[in-house]
Amino acid sequence: MIVGVLALLLVLLVPLTGGSLLRLGQIRIRAWGLLVVALAAQVLVFSVFPELPGRVGVSVHLLTYALAGGFLWLNRSVRGIWLIALGALLNGLAILVNGGTLPSSEWATRTAGLERSGGFANSAVLPDPHLLWLGDVLAVPAGVPFANVFSVGDVLIVIGVGVLVLAGSRGPATTPRTSPSSWRSSPQAGTAVPGAESSAVSCRSSQARNASVDRGGENR
């Protein structure tokens, strides 16, 4: 949740930092549907139906990361995406080696004031975690708005979103390209049209030959 809040805050700060929301909106993002389905599935599993069997929760959780990975791959040319992808990869790796749950440290959970959930959770304190340093070992303290735990991967994702927003809102304005055919069909004043000079020379030569023939006829 904290990642989504910070990403939204970065977008809202664009006008205050001299950027353009209109220019940001012109970034071509492909396959939005993959990301929407992944986020919707996570909301359903972790918020709407938290009492689902563990195997179902784990399967859906891993599937959402696969969908998000496909979305990131299709948009890999967008600035900042590679940082977002790296953060998601670190989170996904920690989730994969821990059976579908991102491990959380006791300290981070206690600092954020979170309580252990009885059902399946995307992040939880595990008895024997693997790669704990990639898990939710950082925290926004209790009492602070949106207090929660977060990981190193989450930090990279937020930085990547910042790069995307910063670069996208300040990029050069795009202008439509004019094809060569349109240059020939509507030449500007003082602009030579390819082939026009040779056509004019040919026309003048033809006129000169016709005039010579006429004079020859008159002499006869």
Number of domains making up the chain: 1
pLDDT at 79: 92
Higher pLDDT, 58 or 158: 158
Residue 201 belongs to a domain: no
Local confidence band at 4 (pLDDT 50, 70, 90 cut-offs)? confident
Domain of 116 in residue numbering reads as 2-170
Residue with tokens 């939880």: 124
Q: What is the pLDDT of residues 133-146, one digit of tens each?
A: 999 999 999 999 88
Residue 192 belongs to a domain: no
Residue 86 belongs to a domain: yes
Say whether pTM exceeds 0.85: no
Residue 149 belongs to a domain: yes
Q: What is the pLDDT of residues 162-201, one digit of tens each?
A: 999 998 898 654 444 444 444 444 444 444 445 544 555 4
Residue 41 belongs to a domain: yes
pLDDT at 111: 95
- CA-angle at 109, arms to 48 and 135, nearest 5°: 85
- CA-angle at 61, arms to 49 and 47, nearest 5°: 25
Give yes or no for a contact between 71 and 34, defined as CB atoms under 8 angstroms apart. yes
Give yes or no for a contact between 125 and 48, defined as CB atoms under 8 angstroms apart. no
Residue 70 belongs to a domain: yes
Residue 196 belongs to a domain: no
